[in-house]
Structure 1
Amino acid sequence: MDLIRVENELKKRLIYPYKWGRKQSDEWDTKTNFIYTTYNFETLLEKTAPFDEKIRNYALNRWYNFWSAEAVENLFSLHENVTSNKNKFDKLIDFTINTTCFDHKTTVFPIGFNQTVTYAKNNPDKLIQWLYLNQSQEGRKHLKNRLFIVLVDKNNEHWKLKAEVKLLKSEIDIYVQNFNSDNLFNLNIENNTILSDLIWVEN
């Protein structure tokens, strides 16, 4: 993956408002699945032109989040102790660090958590549990190992950090180089034993 090209394309999205209009759903995902094979932002705008505003925003956001996630997974794969999952349809495992399998989720710091960033850093297990119970519903929901990348922007435009591939790389590199499975959070959620962790990315 050409990470410089991906960062440039993602940043073209930043001038448009980040509005979902509704929570993610399987139905609207099906309508906008062309995002997986749309590699540049201009083509995306052409494909979404016939849509109404709500579905257009939905498609723009899905495209942005998908290609940012692809870049993140590529950044992990650059490390010798990371093995990417070759099965792209596997919703439970994106990669393995050493011998621990993870799904990865990049998320903005959630307003709904109703606590400060400082509180979350001091109580990471509380934030992790909240993220499992309140995000990734319908086809995305699972209670398996997940590694969360949490974005915090000083201007409260957290979503824009998904386009900062070089910044993401620096934090991912530090995390993977210092990875120790003994430091993971071991949680029990709805009778599921889960290993999880947070990577903070801030500007």
Structure 2
Amino acid sequence: MTNLTFKQLDRLFRNDDFPSIEEDIRGSRFLKLRSMSRKDTMEKFCEINNIDLTGLKSKEYFEHVFEHNAVTEHNIDDFILARYSEERAERLENQDYLVDQLNRLQNFDWGGSFGNSLEKNIVNNYVKKIQSFERINEEIEGSLLSSMRGYTLNSWYNHWTSIIIEDLFKDHPSVLPTVGLVKKIDFFINDIPFDLKVTYFPEQLLADKLRDNGYGNELTKLKQICRRLSIFIPNDLNPKELKLHLLNKVREDQRNDAKAFVEELSNQKKQIIGEAERNPSELKKWFYENQGEARFDASNRFFLVLTDENDMAASWKLKRNVFFLEENIRSHLDALSQDVDALDTEFYWSKDQKTYRCKSDVLFLKYSN
């Protein structure tokens, strides 16, 4: 364990070197106080704990409190839990209403190729390609409006379900929330900081495993069964859309060959996900090594992997299934090992050809009825 100064820890934080912070004897103290470093929060904490701030500028509060010998980890934890309890009480009172509103979303469709850059796509696909005033107005009222609606609704859904799921973690006694927003940390589990990632089993990894297991390409298999059963195959959809479209058509077909195909594909996917659940190291590495370059980091992450085993395309609905989530998250945290070495994760980032080390955990939530 190291024993670094405040300025050294602050430099590590700004350089996203969380492993070095965690190895320091006062690392968790630094990160907890960092989440409380807003002026009004610090002043409230100091008022409660009789800490004199006279003559200090607000930017000096954080270091002053960090170095204050009378401030204990217990003081910090108690303050954070008290602040969270106040905020949580308000959200809990509104939770039934919010979940009801979220259940009104029937289709999770991003509305085209907008991705995470809405402005860029509008400029590239509409502004720079269309010269006609009449046509640009038609596009605004038609496909562009539909796409923007899908993008906005999905973003709205992800935002509010993320808040609900974070609260379900923070309600557990082994979890300490952060007070304010702090980069790459949503909460601490047994004093280890984690960034929560709510996600699904990666489609690309699933496709690779299907191929490696000898099943082959899912879309190719779907086309084969559709030809055998004389099910029409359209040519105006991209591969991802076509795969989902054909799978839905085969699922709805009541012939024995269609039922056997769907059952075999489902069993293949369940087997792959089940193996990942038993041995999660490969999946955790995959998540780190396949993250977007623009958002790359090696922070500690808690992966919550949601799977609807009846229909993987409907796994997004599990994000609003509060009772299912709460029961499983609580059970996992109750049983979480105190052996932090079991969380050690190592991965290779090919873009800079470096090996990174961090801590990570994964919880598979599989739903079937």
Q: Do the structures match in fold with TM over 0.5?
A: yes
Q: Look up the match of 1:43.
A: none
Kindly report which structure 2 residues correspond to 1:1-203, keeping only aligned pairs within 5 A, or say none: 1=91, 2-13=94-105, 15-19=106-110, 21-22=112-113, 24-25=115-116, 27-28=117-118, 52-88=145-181, 90-114=182-206, 115=209, 116-135=272-291, 138-139=294-295, 141-154=296-309, 155-156=311-312, 157-182=314-339, 184-190=342-348, 191-203=355-367
Is the CA contact (8 Å cut-off) linking 1:147 and 1:198 kept in structure 2? yes
- Cα deviation per residue 1:114-171 (whole Å; 9 max; x = unaligned)? 23212312331111111122245534x3211000110110222111111111111111
Q: CA deviation at 1:186?
A: 1.3
Is the CA contact (8 Å cut-off) linking 2:169 and 2:175 kept in structure 1? yes
Q: CA deviation at 1:67?
A: 0.9
Which protein shows a greater Rg?
Answer: 2
Of Structure 1 and Structure 2, the greater strand share is in 1
- Structure-2 separation of matches of 1:117 and 1:195: 22
Give the residue type in structure 1 aligned to 2:332.
Y
- Cα deviation per residue 1:67-98 (whole Å; 9 max; x = unaligned)? 1110011111112221111222x230000011
Q: Residues 57, 138 of structure 1: CA spacing in aligned structure 2 closer, same or farther, 3 A cutoff?
A: farther
Q: Residues 176, 17 of structure 1: CA spacing in aligned structure 2 closer, same or farther, 3 A cutoff?
A: closer
Name stretches of at least 5 consecutive residues in structure 2 with no aligned partner. 1-90, 121-140, 210-271, 349-354
Number of matched pairs: 182
Is the CA contact (8 Å cut-off) linking 1:143 and 1:194 kept in structure 2? yes
Of Structure 1 and Structure 2, the greater helix share is in 2
2:103 is paired with a residue whose SS is helix
Name stretches of at least 5 consecutive residues in structure 1 with no aligned partner. 31-48
- Structure-1 separation of matches of 2:203 and 2:108: 18
> TM-score, with normalisation over the residues of structure 1?
0.78
Q: CA deviation at 1:107?
A: 0.5
Give the residue type in structure 1 aligned to 2:150.
N
Is the CA contact (8 Å cut-off) linking 1:6 and 1:71 kept in structure 2? no
Q: Residues 109, 94 of structure 1: CA spacing in aligned structure 2 closer, same or farther, 3 A cutoff?
A: same
- Structure-2 separation of matches of 1:66 and 1:153: 20
Q: Residues 8, 135 of structure 1: CA spacing in aligned structure 2 closer, same or farther, 3 A cutoff?
A: farther
Decide which moves more: 111-120 or 156-165: 111-120
What is the root-mean-square deviation of aligned Cα atoms in Å? 2.6
